[in-house]
Amino acid sequence: MEEDPGMSTFPSSFRIADTEIAPATVLAPMAGVTDTVFRQFIRNQGGCGLLMTEFTSSHGVVASVKRQKPSKTVRDYLSFEEHERPITAQLFGADPSVLAEAARYCEGMGFDFVDLNLGCPVKKVVKCNGGSGLLRDLPLIGEILASVKRAISIPLTLKCRAGWNDNELVHVQLGKVAEDAGLSAIALHPRTREQGYSGKSDWSRIAALKSALRIPVIGNGDILTPEDAVRMVRETQCDAVMIGRAAASNPWIFRQLAEYLETGEYMQPTEEDRYRMMRSYYDMLIQHEEPEMVGKMKQFATYFTHGVRGGAALRRAVYECRTGPEVVAQVDHFFESQLAAAVS
């Protein structure tokens, strides 16, 4: 395979303050996806430099602190294992003092970094002025960044969208506010809040942000393959890439990128690889005693059977299951039948 000219310029690492992150890849925070089990699962595949928690309500964290007892919010969203490091706690909210207190709590829990979510487009978050809702109020963002920065000694970063809509783009202005406030990195998903996940990511916005700032810029959006990641770096000069939805259906993508950068080629998972991957993740859910284990198994059956021959039949069978062992039995039966048919 002929080497992509961007491969030679893809960064081997990047820095968040004094911490070197290698490889220069980040697992995007995804609600309902990037819990501790999934993060450990991705870490086990190799190739991912930085993990991030699901975005977590700052008000939920502070309420837990006041009760002096870990709440479901803290247990479900902020628990992590040592081998997940380096790891970032991502918070959302719109109250400077509440976000500061929540960030202080995260530092006390041992997180390496705190990240603020200024990108979530979900209505119930936006209506409280959280996530991308804050993009309409840069002065408030400035207050939040200053308040949180004063409250913690670990590095502070943020993830944002380009703006509320195409007529209200604020990513460069926001980046300068963040840099002036002493933040250590910024990740940009270049869609607007109005776009949601529709349309195409305009990577030129990542390039514009990178050219305007001195702090590291992490590019995010529409990276589906290793070639996409290399092309993003070539076109934007970003310091690292962040991959989200593609990692849910293809947990090997970070390892594939590392292989592609080293050899110009990368592994394509076989049916047996997919079987082992599903069983590995489901076994981890069972061992972790995940309270929503069956729901997670059903959710990830949708992701993991992407591209599997006859996968729709497996999904239907899994959706009808009521217990974890039932799900595992259906997965075993399906793949054992598939693999036996392939060799007969």
Domain regions of the chain by residue span: 7-263, 271-343
Whole-number Å distance between alpha carbons of 325 and 310: 21
Asked if 88 and 53 touch (Cβ cutoff 8 Å), the reply is yes
What's the rounded Cα separation, in Å, for the pair 313 and 310? Answer: 6
**Per residue in 274-306, pLDDT tens?**
899 999 999 999 998 767 899 999 999 988 887
pLDDT at 74: 76
Which is catalytic among the residues 120, 160, 238, 321? 120
Q: Is 108 exposed, middle or buried (CB count within 10 Å of its CB: 0-12, 13-18, 19+)?
A: exposed
Q: Which pTM value belongs to this model? A: 0.93
Output b/e per residue, 291-301; b: 16+ Cβ within 10 A: eebbebbbebb
Q: Is 128 a catalytic residue?
A: no
Give per-residue pLDDT as tens, 36-85. 999 999 999 999 999 999 999 999 999 888 876 666 777 778 999 999 99
What does the alpha-carbon distance between residue 317 and residue 332 come to, in Å, rounded to a whole number?
Answer: 12
Instruction: State yes or no: cis peptide before 121, omega within 30 of 0.
Output: no
C-beta separation of 165 from 127 below 8 A: no
Q: What is the pLDDT of residue 5?
A: 59
Could you say which residues of the chain have pLDDT below 50?
1
* Alpha carbon 11 to its chain's center: 19
**Domain 7-263: CATH superfamily, name plus number:** Aldolase class I (3.20.20.70)
